[in-house]
Amino acid sequence: MPTTTLGTETRQAHGRPYFVLPLNNSLDPNDISEFEERLEPVWTSKHRYLVLDLGDIDLVSSRTVSYLENLHRELAAAEKQLALINVNEELRDTLEFVGLSKLIEIFDEEKKFLEAMHLAGI
C-alpha cells in the first residue's frame, strides 16, 4: 500500500520501493523551497528512484530545466536516479530538444517506467 509524506508517495514494484512526487500545474523555480521540502524523505531513504509525475505540467522554463539537471546530478551522487512520468508529447519534445532526455529517463506513463525498472532488474 502506498504511503505519503509531504506529498511524496512511496510505491512498490517488483518488491522495490520508489518515490513518486506529483507536480501540480507548473514546476515554478520560485517555489523551489517548497519542492525541496517535499524531497526531504528521498535523501534519507534507501529508495533508489525518485519519479516526478508531470501529468499536470504543460511547459517548463529554462530555470526549471537547469534545476532538474542539478537534481539529477545530486541524486546520482547519492546513488539514486530521477525519472519523469506522464510526460505529454509536447513537453517531451521540449525536454528532448534541450537535451534533458540524455540525462533523465522520460516515460509517457508510469506503466512504462515500471516495465523499464523490471527489465533493468532494479
In this prediction, residue 89 carries a pLDDT of 93
Spatial distance between the Cα atoms of 109 and 92, rounded to a whole number of angstroms: 12
Spatial distance between the Cα atoms of 55 and 108, rounded to a whole number of angstroms: 9
Higher pLDDT, residue 111 or 13: 111
Given the C-alpha cell 534507501, which residue does it identify? 46
In this prediction, residue 6 carries a pLDDT of 44
Amino acid at 118: H
Strand order in the sheet with 81-85: 3-5, 8-13, 16-22, 49-53, 81-85, 105-106
Query: What's this model's pTM, rounded to 2 decimal places?
Result: 0.85
Of 29, 38, 32, which is closest to residue 60 (Cα–Cα)? 29
- Read off the pLDDT of each residue in 45-69 and give the average, rounded to a whole number: 88
Amino acid at 86: N
The band of 122, judged by pLDDT with boundaries at 50, 70 and 90, is low
Structural domains in the chain, sorted by start: 3-119 (3.30.750.24)
The band of 50, judged by pLDDT with boundaries at 50, 70 and 90, is very high
Of 96, 40, 74, which is closest to residue 84 (Cα–Cα)? 96
Asked whether residue 88 carries a pLDDT value surpassing 80, the answer given is: yes
In this prediction, residue 70 carries a pLDDT of 93
